[in-house]
């Protein structure tokens, strides 16, 4: 195996959950523990971004508009996330692809916009259950990756974090096995390596889908799994902390 200096990362995706009280709880829980071996990111809903103090963890948004500014009611501009101290933004999450009809091309567009504004995309890929069952999942994921490679070029993957989130594992309690996660993570790395093996080797790839304190160590110990994108369990500060502590050292 090639040497790498990938730093583990764990991101919490609150989705449309949480409140001001949860900000306090999470800040209190994390203030007592050393998490310096891992990059931790919290992605709350937009209204709560201003409620965080200076913490050991970074902030991320859950989406950006594909427009830079202007008359787009209900949208949030990438520059606004920057101004609210975000360093990351989740893009291409399967819930947005499904609920908001976000295509591979639109997601690629947003990745380009985030990079232009020096925000790190947490770029999500992952197959639905029928594609898993019919065995076409590598092709499906390759297409999602290719749209972004085509838009921003392979070199941009120096500044992109990929999250593999099989849709059948999101919020279902049905976690991918460590072997299933590793298989796809290795595939993603090989796919990038076809264009640039150094970038493939350095790219941080997270697993997401029903990660909990109880399964994080096993998932994160896989050689190509560099951390996690955590939904439900990120709403429980103790559980989220134990997942962060499970990251490789």
Active-site residue list: 93, 165
Burial (CB count <10 Å: 0-12, 13-18, 19+), residue 154: middle
Kindly state whether residue 23 participates in binding ligand PGA, applying the rule CB under 6 A: no
Kindly state whether residue 210 participates in binding ligand PGA, applying the rule CB under 6 A: yes
Return d(Cα 191, Cα 183) in angstroms, integer. 12
CA angle in degrees (0–180, nearest 5) for 199-94-79: 70
Which one among 27, 127, 151, 165 touches ligand PGA, defined by CB under 6 A?
165
| Residue 203 and residue 191 in contact, taking contact as beta carbons nearer than 8 Å | no
In the complex, least distance from residue 232 CB atom to ligand PGA, rounded to whole angstroms: 3
Matching residue, tokens 């020096």: 118
Which one among 44, 92, 227, 232 touches ligand PGA, defined by CB under 6 A?
232
Matching residue, tokens 């947490």: 122
Number of residues that bind ligand PGA (CB under 6 A): 13
Which residue, 196, 86, 116, is CA-closest to 108?
116
Instruction: Give whichever of 200 and 232 is closer to ligand PGA, judged by the CB atom.
Output: 232
DSSP letter at 92 equals S
Kindly state whether residue 235 participates in binding ligand PGA, applying the rule CB under 6 A: no
In the complex, least distance from residue 81 CB atom to ligand PGA, rounded to whole angstroms: 18
Site string for ligand PGA, 48-87 (x = CB under 6 A): ----------------------------------------
Enumerate binding residues for ligand PGA (CB under 6 A). 13, 165, 170-171, 208-211, 229-233
């Amino acid at each position: 195996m090639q040497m790498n200096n990938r730093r583990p990362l764990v991101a919490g995706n609150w989705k449309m959950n949480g409140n001001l009280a949860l900000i306090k709880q999470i800040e209190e829980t994390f203030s007592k523990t050393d998490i310096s071996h891992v990059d931790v990111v919290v992605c709350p809903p937009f209204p709560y971004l201003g409620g965080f103090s200076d913490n050991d963890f970074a902030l991320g948004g859950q989406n950006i508009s594909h427009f830079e500014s202007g008359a787009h009611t209900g949208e949030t501009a990438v520059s606004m996330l920057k101004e609210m101290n975000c360093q990351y933004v989740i893009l291409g999450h399967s819930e947005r692809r499904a609920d908001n009809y976000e295509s591979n091309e639109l997601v690629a567009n947003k990745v380009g916009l985030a990079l232009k504004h020096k925000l790190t995309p947490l770029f999500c890929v992952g197959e639905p259950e029928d594609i898993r069952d019919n065995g076409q999942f590598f092709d499906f994921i390759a297409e999602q990756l290719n749209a972004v490679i085509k838009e921003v070029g392979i070199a941009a993957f120096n500044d992109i974090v990929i999250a593999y989130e099989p849709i059948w594992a999101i919020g279902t309690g049905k976690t991918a096995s460590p072997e299933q996660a590793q298989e796809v993570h290795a595939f993603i790395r090989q796919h990038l390596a076809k264009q640039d093996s150094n970038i493939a080797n350095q790219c941080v790839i997270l697993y997401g889908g029903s990660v909990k304190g109880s399964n994080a160590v096993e998932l994160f110990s896989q050689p190509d799994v560099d951390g996690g994108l955590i939904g439900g369990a990120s709403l429980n500060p103790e559980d989220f902390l134990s997942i962060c502590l499970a990251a490789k050292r």
